[in-house]
Structure 1
Amino acid sequence: MTNPNYARLQATAQRLIAKYGQAWAVRRETPPDPIYGGVPVVTTYPATLVPVAYEARYIDGTVIKTGDMQIYISPVGLPIEPTVGDVVTANGTDYAIINGNPNKYDGVTPVVFIVHGRIAA
């Protein structure tokens, strides 16, 4: 069941991300059909997001590396939930999603998507 408090939190997060964020994109590649083949289909979803560099104290060289970004993505108007394997474009750079947290506190309403992005090779 949807909790109205989380809808208000989502609206607050959307307002802050819209104020301080950027309009970029989330790309998802759908693999070809395993039986019929074909080519992968890449779909781009416009998103509003805020990329934030990790503080030096969190960079350990294994889980979090130099150049990794913590990316806050607004769920409002985004038809997908960013997951591992998607690519986020922020600051003109492509970041592959390594880990993510949908922040669905009530299990239904995503307040904000927080993903760990690494520069895509």
Structure 2
Amino acid sequence: MLIAVDHVQLAAPPGSEDTLRAYYVDVLGMTETPKPPELAARGGCWFEAGYVRLHLGLEEDFRPAKKAHPGLRVTGIEAYAARLAAQGAPVTWDDTLPGYRRFYSEDPVGNRLEFLETVTASGPGG
């Protein structure tokens, strides 16, 4: 029986770890999690914030995920979008999903990310 998603893995080009760290830690506010030594030798980075865990693995023939993406729940979505935009990250709002306020962005290597917050009669987040 499935009980949870442990993590989502995205790909990145070799040598992009410092750029990824700057984005996922400084822009998104995540914490880098050390990889086990056996896996650290492969390169890449792991990040987490609360129950969200993202792994960025290196791929020689890297192509960014433009359609496939993680959907990341946030609180205070307006402020979060402003934070990303202030750091130079693209923010594209999408109002086509009933019950949610959401936007799309991209990490520095071009992977698509979705950020969403539930909306109730009292406004975003409930």
Is the TM value for this pair above 0.5? no
Q: What's the TM-score, normalizing by structure 1? A: 0.25
